[in-house]
Chain A
Amino acid sequence: MTLACVIHRYGPQVAGGSEAHCRAIAQRLAERHDVTVLTSCATDYVTWRNALPRGESRDGGVKVLRFPVDRPRPMNRFRVLSDLVFDGRATVEEQVEWFAANGPSLPGLLSHLQVDGHAYDRVLFWAFRYAPTWFALPLVADRAVLLPTAEDDDLIRTSTLLGPYFRRPRACLFLTPEERDLVAARCEGPLPPSDIIGMGLDPAPAAPPRGPLDALGLPRDYLLYLGRVDKNKGCDRLFDAFVEYDRRVTADGAGNALPLILAGPVVLPVPAHPRIRALGFVDDRTREALLAHARALVMPSPYESLSIVVLEAWNHRRPVVVNGRCGPLAGQVRRANGGLSYYWPDEFVGAVRYLADHPDHADRLGAQGFAYVEREYRWPLVMAKIEALLDR
């Protein structure tokens, strides 16, 4: 088959869940198909400033066609439109303008699909909220496969444009059953043919050495947050809950007070606390070691369609502590029986204390998570589901 993958940013230097998902799948599809990624020259998802050369390049077996962004994101207008859209008071025109302002604006990509879209047997689109997917999918709807990466956020609750939009693609691929249910609830009429694929993982390297952690002077036992340190990821509430956890363990004078280690770009002020440490961006070796040696991974985000980092923790046989208010996260943990879900700060404190005080149970929960990854998230299984849907 001749396939195109449409994504707002692409490349090894690009961090982001949808982008990583797209790249991993495009490279595996390229083992059997002729795959072209259609994307932007941007690496910054806030400004969409052009940073990479336009035109054709290669990423392993994948052909990459980059189109220049013709205007940066209009930040002030975008904020005003976001207020209107998320408040449910935007007109249809303002909602369309929101998708355009969210960007990246890629007229070249739209023209390419309008003129040459028929040359692709299937066009896979990631992340409905970004302009390339929103505006280009209708141009090739008869061959479009949408991976919405939808989250239960204000946009999906308030936008009146989504009902008809979700009916348009030829097929959909979802990351979790919760995401499928969310989109099905917003879709006008029945969903297009679909499957739930999640994300494929390769087996983790056996027991990564602690060397990189010792070099950073990290303690033997810690609670890990991995990802962008951002309010949108629930980190502000994580800090509050962690400070309360630490206060109570210290006040009781009993039990093992775990420190919180944050690894990832920091866009939210981190409280000055003796047991919270932000490492910033870390290399792959350190990342693997952090995951392998953590007591548990914490994922406080209220908005996720799938948490890849939760799967990675399980891949290292570590348990997770997740925000139970996020349906996909709670669902993942429930199905895996691989961690604890909290709703309230008190429950976070109790869950972390339990894992700190019961290392054997923490290890067993991690092992159950690993078994779940083995059952559901290995690449051969994920790719077989995708291939079956592409053939339909």
Chain B
Amino acid sequence: MARVDASPLPEPVDAEAIMTEVRRQVRADLRARLVAHGAAEEFSDPRVFDEVDGLFRRTLARDDRARLLLPDALDERWAPELALRLSTHRPGPVGSSILFVKRRVLQPLLRWLFEYALENFRRQDRVNVALMACLQSLAADHVKLRLRVDALERSPHRERETPVSGDTPAGR
């Protein structure tokens, strides 16, 4: 990363101004790296990169699953079940004994494996939520744009711009 220039700062030093400049430089370096690795088509225009990067970061900064629409549309429970609730179908003392062995012997014995899996499930869960949030943001933008396009196409101004038959180029 190129170092951030120490431009003259007003008194007192403004921490937010410093971080704004640091962030700008960080993004510029990141874009240069991505373009160098073959993302020139998407990110040759810095404005496009800034918009895309901003969208992702804004979305990822809010880990708020309560505002997501997609989970409601999914049939089954979408989030990984991160807690293990032990049970047995056998009734009476046999069932109690089985549960006792599961809780006091097997569960502590296998705890290391459970925790290893749990950490991976948690990571996947975070990715799922992030992707859903990004998708929701893109879907909302897509719908807004489509509505605007529809409105433009319906507007009288748009109709006046439509070529009349006499203006149609010959041969069409």
Contacts and interface: CB of A to CB of B under 8 A. Distances in A.
Interface of A: 76-77, 79-80, 83-84, 86-87, 89-90, 248, 252, 254-255, 325, 333-334, 337-344, 346-347, 349-351, 353-354, 357-358, 361, 364-365, 368
Contacts of A248: 1
B82 interface: yes
Interface in B3-55: 3-4, 6, 9, 12-16, 18-19, 22-23, 25-26, 29-30
B83 interface: yes
A353 B6 contact: no
B3 A255 contact: yes
B18 A354 contact: yes
Name the interface size band of chain B. Answer: 20 to 34
Contacts of B111: 76, 79
B82 A87 contact: yes
A76 B19 CA distance: 44
A322 B14 CA distance: 16
B26 A347 contact: yes
Interface string B70-95: 00000000000111110000000000
Interface of B: 1-4, 6, 9, 12-16, 18-19, 22-23, 25-26, 29-30, 57, 61, 81-85, 103-104, 107-108, 111, 118
A350 B118 contact: no
For the complex of A and B, the 6 pairs showing the least CB-CB separation, nearest first, are A83-B83, A350-B22, A84-B83, A364-B13, A87-B82, A87-B83
A325 B61 contact: yes
A200 B103 CA distance: 46
Q: Which of B25, B83, B108 has the most CB of A within 10 A?
A: B83
A346 B104 CA distance: 45
A252 B6 CA distance: 18
B134 to A, nearest CB: 16
Contacts of A368: 12-13, 15
B1 A89 contact: no
B85 A353 contact: no
18 contacts: A76-B107, A76-B108, A79-B111, A80-B103, A84-B85, A87-B81, A89-B85, A252-B1, A334-B16, A340-B15, A346-B30, A347-B19, A349-B26, A351-B22, A353-B1, A353-B3, A365-B13, A368-B12
Contacts of B61: 325, 343
Contacts of B57: 343-344
A86 B103 CA distance: 19
B9 to A, nearest CB: 7
A358 B111 CA distance: 48
A333 B15 contact: yes
A248 to B, nearest CB: 6
Contact of A354 (B12, B22, B103, B118): B22
